[in-house]
């Protein structure tokens, strides 16, 4: 009996001793470590490696020039930190600066091969890419909204709706705020849309949206609301791993994303949500926002349904990219001046625009705002540091949500 207990303990509690080494590769070193002085140390055991680097969005960006389709462009690439080898083949890198509170993505490069930090179990999937996660939290900092606190938690559900447009069931992520299930009240609904590199999981993983909602509601800074995270690729049932195409590699060549079909089909999602949940099923109880492609979707869904949403938020919206020219549903993108006039004549409570000062989309957003200014249409605007990055989208969501349904 004692031997069985020992073996049981060995198999499960002492896995790192041997069994875990075999299949799982147990942790050999601690990484990442947030040091008392606010710097962060990364480690990896790689005795035979020649060069080990870390790259991630906690490092200052570097200008990189690339050639794409014969055109030269520059973009802001994450910086690189170079490890030094220490005892036992453990490589180490410590940031030469205090890392500001934020949620970061990073990965290692061992002799040119990109790998996750093997000592960090916190991994984010962004469509077909995995990165390690680092949360530097500080009470009072905005990052505190991204952490889980002992406050009432909403329910997060994966719900399938029948899409007449797609011809099959499609998956949504739905947040119902704490208290929804035991209340008889009707709730307003916020629809939150992802970018072209995302799916119905993106806002609740990288976006930390359900933590932001839990925390803002608990602080009394936001109204309790239902939040619906859609999948903006109408040709997909659901995120990778969660659809009937099986364990095939997700690709970045996404059909039916910015050519009008999703915008045309959006009212069927609103109809489903209004039938399934206790909603305030009218304009005053509805908001919509989205990042990048989702900001583009937000604009056109709003303009083509001027009585549907009282609040619209465009986060780094991917407008002016020319995708409208190849649209399957050209009518969605036509007569924008007329649609803007109708939309503003219906007096929406809020059009909110946010973008980073170095975002490659800032010019087209500036042109759009100039058009609004020229016509005297009201909107709120926020410009932040940095570019087309999740840090900004989490900020925009946490700024936008407190303005809703007041």
Candidate segments 130-138, 217-225, 303-311, 328-336, binder of a copy of itself by CB under 8 A: 130-138
User: Could you say whether residue 386 binds a copy of itself (CB under 8 A)?
Assistant: no
Pairwise CA distance, residues 188 & 183, whole Å: 14
Give the interface size with a copy of itself as a residue count (CB under 8 A): 122
Q: Is there binding between residue 158 and a copy of itself (CB under 8 A)?
A: yes
Answer for which of 38, 39, 41, 45 binds a copy of itself (CB under 8 A) is 45
In whole angstroms, what is the distance from residue 203 CA to residue 190 CA?
A: 13
Is there binding between residue 118 and a copy of itself (CB under 8 A)?
Answer: yes
Q: Is 291 in the site for a copy of itself (CB under 8 A)?
A: no
Question: How many residues does this entry show for the chain?
Answer: 406
Residue with tokens 């849309």: 193
For the segment 85-104, give every residue that binds a copy of itself (CB under 8 A).
Answer: none
In 184-297, at which residue ranges do the beta strands (DSSP E only) sit?
Answer: 189-193, 226-229, 286-291
Nearest approach, Cβ of 346 to a copy of itself (angstroms)?
A: 29
Quick check: 250 binds a copy of itself (CB under 8 A)? Answer: yes
218 scored as a contact of a copy of itself (CB under 8 A): no
Record the tokens describing residue 373, joined without a space.
């200014």
Q: Interface residues for a copy of itself in 197-216 (CB under 8 A)?
A: 197
Contacts of 102 (CB under 8 A, 6+ apart): 58, 135, 136, 143, 391
CB nearer to a copy of itself: give 121 or 370: 121
Q: Does 60 bind a copy of itself (CB under 8 A)?
A: no
Pick the binder of a copy of itself from 47, 88, 96, 220 (CB under 8 A): 47
Q: Closest approach of Cβ 56 to a copy of itself, in Å?
A: 7
**Of 44 and 216, which CB lies nearer to a copy of itself in the complex structure?**
44
Taking CA atoms, 144 is separated from 20, 99, 210, 272, in Å, by 34, 15, 13, 34
CA 178 – CA 217 distance, rounded (Å):
9
Beta carbon nearer to a copy of itself, 175 or 311? 175
Tell me what percent of the chain is helix, strand and coil, each rounded to the nearest 5: 30, 30, 45
Q: How far is the CB of 343 from a copy of itself (least distance, A)?
A: 23
- 226-245 residues in contact with a copy of itself (CB under 8 A) are 237-238, 240-244
208, 202, 200, 52: which is closest to 118 by C-alpha? 52
């Amino acid at each position: 009996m004692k031997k069985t207990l020992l073996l049981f303990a060995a198999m499960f509690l002492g896995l790192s001793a041997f069994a875990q080494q075999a299949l799982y590769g147990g942790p050999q070193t601690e990484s990442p470590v947030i040091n008392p002085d606010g710097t962060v140390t990364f480690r990896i055991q790689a005795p035979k490696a020649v060069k080990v680097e870390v790259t991630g969005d906690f490092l200052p960006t570097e200008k990189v020039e690339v050639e794409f389709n014969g055109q030269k462009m520059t973009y802001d690439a994450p910086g690189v930190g170079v490890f030094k080898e220490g005892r036992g083949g453990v490589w180490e890198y410590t940031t030469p600066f205090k890392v500001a509170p934020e949620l970061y993505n990073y990965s290692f490069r061992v002799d040119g091969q990109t790998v996750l930090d093997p000592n960090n179990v916190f991994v984010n999937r962004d469509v077909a890419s995995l990165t390690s996660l680092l949360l530097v939290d500080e009470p009072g900092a905005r990052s505190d909204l991204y952490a889980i606190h002992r406050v009432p938690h909403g329910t997060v559900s994966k719900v399938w709706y029948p899409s007449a447009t797609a011809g099959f069931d499609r998956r949504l992520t739905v947040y119902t705020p704490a208290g929804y299930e035991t209340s008889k009240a009707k709730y307003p609904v916020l629809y939150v849309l992802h970018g072209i590199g995302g799916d119905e999981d993106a806002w609740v993983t990288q976006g930390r949206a359900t933590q932001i909602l839990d925390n803002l509601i608990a602080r009394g800074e936001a109204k309790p609301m239902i939040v619906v995270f859609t999948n903006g690729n109408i040709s997909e049932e659901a995120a990778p791993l969660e659809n009937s195409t099986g364990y095939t590699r997700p690709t970045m060549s996404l059909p039916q994303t910015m050519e009008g079909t999703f915008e045309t089909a959006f009212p069927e999602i609103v109809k489903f949500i209004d039938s399934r949940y206790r909603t305030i099923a009218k304009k005053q109880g509805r908001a919509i926002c989205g990042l990048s492609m989702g900001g583009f979707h937000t604009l056109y869904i709003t303009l083509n349904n001027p009585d549907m949403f009282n609040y619209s938020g465009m986060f780094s919206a991917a407008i002016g990219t020319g995708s409208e020219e190849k649209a399957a549903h050209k009518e969605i993108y036509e007569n924008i001046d007329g649609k803007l006039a109708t939309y503003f004549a219906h007096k929406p409570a809020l059009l909110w625009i946010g973008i980073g000062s170095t975002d490659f989309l800032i010019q087209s957003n500036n042109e759009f705002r100039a058009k609004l200014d020229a016509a005297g249409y009201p909107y709120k605007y926020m410009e932040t540091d940095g570019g087309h990055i999740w840090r900004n989208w989490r900020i925009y969501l946490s700024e936008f949500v407190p303005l809703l349904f007041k």
